[in-house]
Every structure is written in structure tokens, then in C-alpha cells.
């Protein structure tokens, strides 16, 4: 069960946020073997100053359309799967909602199974 946190500046319409969530989830299903119905996403919108970023870090030109995605998931994905995910997520979000590839920052946090309770107080 990946838990996806998506942070962006406030002011984008609901369909823009939905397209981001849809694209991230589709990329996880296609590249990380995440089940289609295993979708848990938290969106956080921030006012000016609520996201601080370097607009040119590593020579990548970022704008205030920046989207930061942090995915907590069970350990075990191979580096190639993660690289495939990054590429697919960029591709899908460029199509809809039209996010520039430079404005997508992704981070994985891997945890072991006993650090999850999917409900009912059970691990």
C-alpha cells in the first residue's frame, strides 16, 4: 500500500489535482506492480512561501508549478523499476495536466511490512 503525499502551490483547480493523482497512480500500477485499487493519496496545497525550492538546482529550471511527490511504500522495488516510474510519471503528467517535466520532484521512502497497518489495528 503506497501512501502518496503530493504538495503543490495553492490555486490549481480540482481537475488539475485529480490529473496529477491519476497520473502518479497509473505510473505506479504500470511500473511498480501496485494494484489498481491500492490508491491512497494526500494533497497538500501551500500558499506563497509554503514551498521553498531552488529554481535552478542541478541545472533544472523549475517554476512555481512545482509538484513534490513523496511515496512511502514497502521495500523491495529494484532501481530500474524506480527509474521507469520516474520516466512514466513525467510522461503522463506532461500529457495531463500539462506539467513540465522539470517541475516534478519525486522521493521514495521504503519501509518494512511491519511498519504498516492497513486497518482493523492489524499489521
C-alpha R_g of the chain: 15
Beta bridge partners of 69: 6, 106
SS3 82: helix
| Annotation marks residue 35 as catalytic | no
The answer to whether 24 and 69 have CB atoms below 8 angstroms apart is yes
Exposure of 104 by Cβ count < 10 A (0-12 exposed, 13-18 middle, 19+ buried)?
buried
Joined grid coordinates for residue 39:
490508491
CA distance 70 to 106: 6
User: Pick the catalytic residue: 2, 55, 97, 101?
Assistant: 2
Residues with active-site annotation? 2
Amino acid at each position: 500500500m503506497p501512501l502518496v503525499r503530493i504538495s503543490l502551490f495553492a490555486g490549481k483547480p480540482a481537475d488539475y489535482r485529480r490529473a496529477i493523482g491519476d497520473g502518479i497512480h497509473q505510473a505506479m500500477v504500470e511500473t511498480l506492480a501496485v494494484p489498481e485499487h491500492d490508491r491512497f493519496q494526500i494533497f497538500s496545497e501551500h500558499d506563497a512561501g509554503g514551498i521553498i525550492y531552488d529554481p535552478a538546482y542541478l541545472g533544472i529550471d523549475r517554476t512555481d508549478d512545482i509538484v513534490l511527490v513523496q511515496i512511502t511504500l514497502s521495500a523491495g522495488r529494484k532501481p530500474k523499476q524506480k527509474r521507469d516510474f520516474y520516466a512514466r510519471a513525467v510522461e503522463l503528467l506532461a500529457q495531463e495536466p500539462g506539467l513540465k517535466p522539470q517541475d516534478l520532484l519525486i522521493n521514495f521512502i521504503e519501509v518494512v511490512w511491519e511498519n504498516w497497518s492497513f486497518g482493523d489495528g492489524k499489521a
